[in-house]
Amino acid sequence: MSAFAATFSDALSLLAHFDHTVLEIVALSLQVSGAAVVLGTLIGLPLGACIAVGRFPGKTALSVLINGMMGLPSVVVGVVVYLILSRSGPFGALGMLYSPAAMVVAQTLLVVPLMAAITRQVVEDVWARYAEELQVMRFSWWDSVTTLLHDCRHSLVVAVLAGLGRAMSEVGAVMIVGGNIDGATRVMTTAIALETSKGDLALAIALGVVLIVIILALNALAYVLRQWAMRRFG
Partner 1 sequence: MPIFPLSIHDLRFAPDGREVLAGVDLELGEEGITLVLGPNGAGKSVLLRTICGLLEPSAGRMAWGGAGGARPQQGVMMVFQRPMMLRMSVLDNVALGLKPLGVAGAERRRRGVEMLERVGLADRAGDSARQLSGGEQQRLALARAWLTKPRLLLLDEPTASLDPSASAAVERIIREIRTDGTRILMVTHNLGQATRLGDDIVFMAGGRVCEHTPVRAFFARPRSEEARLFIQGELPWRMRFQGA
Question: What does the binding site for partner 1 look like in residue numbers (CB under 8 A)?
Answer: 129-130, 132-140, 143, 147, 150-151, 153-154, 232-234
Q: Is the dihedral of CA 77, 169, 200, 14 positive or negative?
A: positive
- Asked whether 9 and 80 are in contact (CB, 8 A), the reply is no
Task: State in angstroms the smallest separation of the CB of 136 from partner 1.
Answer: 5
Residue 219 CB neighbours (<10 A): 15
Task: State in angstroms the smallest separation of the CB of 146 from partner 1.
Answer: 10
Closer residue to partner 1 (CB): 143 or 182? 143
Closer residue to partner 1 (CB): 8 or 130? 130
Q: Which of 87, 126, 121, 82 is nearest to 105 (CA)?
A: 82
198 vs 129: CA distance, rounded Å: 56
Task: State in angstroms the smallest separation of the CB of 55 from partner 1.
Answer: 13
Closer residue to partner 1 (CB): 120 or 154? 154
Closer residue to partner 1 (CB): 140 or 197? 140
List C-alpha distances in Å: 212 to 117, 207, 209, 215: 25, 9, 5, 5
3-state secondary structure of 177: helix
Closer residue to partner 1 (CB): 89 or 226? 226
Task: State in angstroms the smallest separation of the CB of 147 from partner 1.
Answer: 7
Residue 104 CB neighbours (<10 A): 25
Residue 99 φ/ψ region, left for φ over 0, alpha for ψ in the -120 to 50 degree band, beta for the rest? beta
Task: State in angstroms the smallest separation of the CB of 203 from partner 1.
Answer: 45
